[in-house]
Amino acid sequence: MALLVVVVASVLVVMFESVRTLATRHATLLLALEWTFTILFTVEYLARLVCVQRPLRYATSFFGLVDLASVLPMYLATLVPGLHVLIDIRILRMLRAFRILKLTEYVREFSSLGEALHASRRKVAVFLSVVAMVVVVLGTVMYVVEGPESGFTSIPVAIYWAITTMTTVGFGDIAPRTNLGRAVASIVMLLGWGILAVPTGIVTAEMTTRRLSSTDPSRHCSSCGAAVNAADARFCQRCGTRLA
């Protein structure tokens, strides 16, 4: 819980530093807080390397890289002043905002969501490929119908329009002018309503399945205690023990 508070506070400090009036008025305080957070995260990172069984594996993992990214920019911007020739030091310091990703390591619900996304990745990938094909087809149709006179100067531009329309973003920088083009746009809008709900349903169904398997006592492995076994599993997916 303390680390959660520190992560949120450190990200707020980065945000406050981007406000010129606050950065000028409270420069000393913000710098002191930033170094305090950097030292705390450095100690945490080193402690994890000492405690884990495979330090290199942790250091190259997602959370290991996030932990490194939370402390490295501050040291680089301070220890190597000459870096401003190649890249603005402020950009390095802004990378500290990646500390917000550390929240996923300490909140259990993030892990549940990540497992559900990983389990449904193939279904989502197939769905996205179908969406990509639909967008290409509809974008090409709009390019043929509207043409450069309406702003659809190329097929990639028309595909960009189809994506923004289907996702209900609708920037309005490109819009159909002919009646046929508006009819096609209406179809794209209606497809967008249904398409946006599909990946949500896929992930939600996976999360529901995992929740049911975790609440069913027969799904808990008597050997390793794993509670993520599928409802129709006969053996534990973690250790291979036969389930009750």
CATH code of the domain in which 9 resides: 1.20.120
pLDDT at residue 219, rounded to an integer: 62
Question: Do 151 and 65 sit in the same domain of this protein?
Answer: no
pLDDT by residue (tens digit) across 172-230?
888 999 999 999 999 999 988 888 788 888 888 887 776 665 555 556 777 777 765 66
pLDDT at residue 87, rounded to an integer: 42
Q: Does the structure show a pLDDT above 90 at 161? A: yes
Task: Tell me the pLDDT band of 82, cut-offs 50, 70 and 90.
Answer: low
- Number of H helices and number of E strands within the chain? 11, 0
pTM, full prediction? 0.57
pLDDT at residue 81, rounded to an integer: 60
Domain at 127, CATH number: 1.10.287.70
What range does the domain containing 61 cover?
2-106
Q: Report the candidate in 14, 5, 18 with the shortest Cα–Cα distance to residue 33.
A: 14
pLDDT by residue (tens digit) across 37-77?
889 989 989 998 998 888 899 899 887 888 888 888 788 77
Residue 52 within a domain:
yes
3-class DSSP assignment, residue 116: helix
pLDDT at residue 84, rounded to an integer: 43
Q: Report the candidate in 24, 224, 220, 225 with the shortest Cα–Cα distance to residue 233.
A: 220
Task: Tell me the pLDDT band of 137, cut-offs 50, 70 and 90.
Answer: very high
pLDDT at residue 143, rounded to an integer: 93
Residue 128 within a domain:
yes
Residue 115 within a domain:
no
φ and ψ at residue 98, rounded to 5 degrees: -65, -10
Question: Do 137 and 90 sit in the same domain of this protein?
Answer: no
Residue 43 within a domain:
yes
Residue 86 within a domain:
yes
- Residue scoring higher pLDDT (98 or 92): 98
- Residues of the chain above pLDDT 90, percent: 24
Residue 229 within a domain:
no
